[in-house]
Amino acid sequence: MHHDCPESSRRSLIRAMPRRGRRLAGLLLAAAAVLGGCAQPVAAPLRQAPPQLGGFAFALMGDMPYSPREMAQVDALIQSVNADAEVGLVLHVGDVKGGGERCDEPLYRERLRQLQQVARPLLYTPGDNEWTDCHRPSNGAYVPTERLALLRRVFFPEPGRSLGREPVALRSQAQEGGAHAAFVENVMAERQGVLFATLHVVGSRNGLAPWMGVDPKDGVTGNNPERNAEFEARQAANLAWLDRLFDEAQRRNAAGVVVAMQANPRIEAEPGSLTRNGFDAVLARLHGRAQAFGRPVLLVHGDDHEFFIDQPWYRDKGEEPRLANVTRVQGYGSPRLHWVKVRVLPNTPEVFHIEPQRVRGNP
């Protein structure tokens, strides 16, 4: 199996520019793959090195596989990640199944077995396809909260422990007890003075989309109380976890912070708009805490399946002033079965340096 090298020379973060241009710039980077002539890296586990030895890298993947026919291609992607000796951590930002696939336990366990092929510690945060959309007839017409409970049992059997062939201890929100003890999926990790956290923020309007498959009246003559209660509890947990993350970053004088979620939270839309319904509270908290933190913050997510880099708060929006220290990366997704390498160099001003990676033979 051949593995591709970076699509271009090493690139730092794309600076603020008009949104259309920024997204185009990200897509052009993704299209600039060098498809041949690259030496294959030697696969070896990367042990955490002192900061003076040059940092480390993490891999971003998500929104895959979406069908059985993509399983082999995702296997190839995982081999590509495993072969990169600089990668010390992998983030999967949700959607391990297609929106039309059934939400059955055997499928969950099949996709988990595939993720467990990752040779490095793997942090996974759920996507909407795994539970919020399971009310659809094509998904089995399951009650989403019941599927969420199953998902937690399958993918998070041991709170505070990562996935992957080299699992490591993490800090899980479930370990802190209290009102948010159910949220085993919200985790935190530290590498060389940089903090990572996952937030359970999903597509389908962050879980507010009606459960029409199991409740035809939902969103028409009323709102499903179970759906609303789940959203409120998860939102409270996410806000508390964001505060915990930035409190810890301030206490440690962290060089940077990485926040991972599944959903594209539509930062470019106006606050209070229908487009941002379900995301406003998390975005407001992220904006405020990132502004106070002042050092580099990287938001990584999936959802739209197209790689791009931008600075989402690049212009004033009334109550959301410009933030030069926040950069966002959306990863690849089905049918674009590739990954993004992020070099983390804590002693550089930018800290985060993005290199999209294409896997030869994958679409």
Q: Which domains does the chain have, with CATH numbers?
A: 19-357 (3.60.21.10)
- C-alpha–C-alpha distance, residues 155 and 149, integer Å: 10
- C-alpha–C-alpha distance, residues 216 and 255, integer Å: 49
Q: Using the predicted structure, report yes or no on whether residue 51 has a pLDDT greater than 70.
A: no
CA angle 208, 158, 154 (to 5 degrees): 55
- Residue 222: predicted pLDDT: 79
Is the Cα torsion angle 363, 125, 327, 48 positive or negative in sign? negative
| pLDDT tens column, 105-163 | 999 999 999 999 999 999 999 999 999 999 999 999 999 999 999 999 999 999 999 99
Looking up tokens 């049992």 gives 153
CB distance 269 to 300 below 8 Å: no
Residue 171 bridge partners (DSSP): 188
**Phi, psi angles (nearest 5°) of residue 86:** -80, -20
CB distance 266 to 19 below 8 Å: no
Mean pLDDT, range 348-353, rounded to an integer = 97
Mean pLDDT, range 244-259, rounded to an integer = 99
Instruction: Report which DSSP code applies to 208.
Output: T
CB distance 355 to 93 below 8 Å: no
Angle between helices 71-82 and 105-115 (to 10 degrees): 30
- C-alpha–C-alpha distance, residues 75 and 69, integer Å: 11
- C-alpha–C-alpha distance, residues 230 and 154, integer Å: 19
**pTM attached to this predicted model:** 0.86
Going across the sheet that includes 256-260, the strands are: 171-172, 187-191, 194-198, 256-260, 297-301, 326-330, 308-310
- C-alpha–C-alpha distance, residues 207 and 194, integer Å: 30
Q: Using the predicted structure, report yes or no on whether residue 10 has a pLDDT greater than 60.
A: no
Looking up tokens 């979406």 gives 66
